[in-house]
Amino acid sequence: MHVSIKEQALRLIGDLPDNTGWDEVLYVLTGAATAGGAWPAGAVREFRPTYGEPTATGTTGEARVSYDFDVIVERDAEGWYVGSVPALEGCHTQARSVDQLMGRIREAIELALEVAGGRPSDTGFVGVRRVSVTV
């Protein structure tokens, strides 16, 4: 009997507590995939968590929201590190070091959220895939 990937994933995570974070869910799923080979070769595994939930109340009584974003980091031909956030349109910056880039991208995210009314778009980072091409 063939069991779909979705059914396999649901069986693996069904016993996890409700407050389980995405890191633990992904650890369980990827651990099972590497141990048992349950994922077919070339399958795209997409897990898109919600970007934020109220975590605390600020000093003025407003709800505060904490977000985690995927940041794509590249190095250009001139040695600059370039960071972009797929979930926030137009959110990118550059720096000479990765540490400096992360500080700058944090500022860019805050500004992008301010412009977007505090909510990221519904797009999400899926992953990076390698494609071989012979020319």
Res 103: pLDDT: 96
Instruction: Find residue 65's DSSP bridge partners.
Output: 54
Res 74: pLDDT: 94
Q: What is the pLDDT of residues 4-36, one digit of tens each?
A: 666 777 777 777 777 777 667 666 666 654 555
Look at residue 55 and tell me whether its pLDDT is greater than 60. no
pTM of the model: 0.52
Using alpha carbons, list the distances in angstroms from residue 122 to 59, 74, 79, 113, 116: 29, 23, 32, 13, 12
Q: How confident is the model at residue 80 (pLDDT cuts 50, 70, 90)?
A: very high
Res 29: pLDDT: 67
Domains of the chain: 1-47 (no CATH), 52-115 (3.30.160.250)
Distance CA 101, CA 82 (A): 7
Q: What is the pLDDT of residues 87-130, one digit of tens each?
A: 888 899 999 999 999 999 999 999 998 887 777 776 667 777 78
Res 111: pLDDT: 92
